Structure 1
């Protein structure tokens, strides 16, 4: 069984599509271009499909990368909403504990 992609793979696909360049995407993500290239090759191996076509120091997204970017947007948005919901629930629990008990 092949390992799955993780959130960092999804973020790098989005970043490369946005910038078209490994160096710019790496800078946006706070990693080295070498690390980003390695993660991109890893994602392509895991999916067994090329995600980008290299053209004159720029990368053009394949249909697979474009599809993964749409999926990534949905997943990352859902995760962000879930994190916000958990923080709100925790704040409500803490606020409830501050109130005196009523009999």
Structure 2
């Protein structure tokens, strides 16, 4: 699975992709439960292990809505939704590296 963000394409489980999201712009935090990274796509379900991503695991949720063209299999990010225990602004770099990248079949 390839993921396209801001005109560049990355492997779904690459360290480079993780850096891209960690360097992303500040997002608005809404009331909820936290900060893992979730892709909702029409791709097959794949949950990357901690070893594959090279980071820790946190049970909280950050949702990225995306489109995946059936022919190319590329993932295009549409929007980012972040929920956490406190209502505030939070930048990805302040998440202490606790992010899970998950591909979900709707």
Q: TM-score per shorter chain, which class?
A: under 0.3
Normalised to the residue count of structure 1, the TM-score between the two structures is: 0.25
Return the structure number with greater helix share. Answer: 1
Return the structure number with greater strand share. Answer: 2
Rg larger for: 1
Normalised to the residue count of structure 2, the TM-score between the two structures is: 0.25
Instruction: Name the structure, 1 or 2, with higher relative contact order (CA <8 Å, separation 6+).
Output: 2
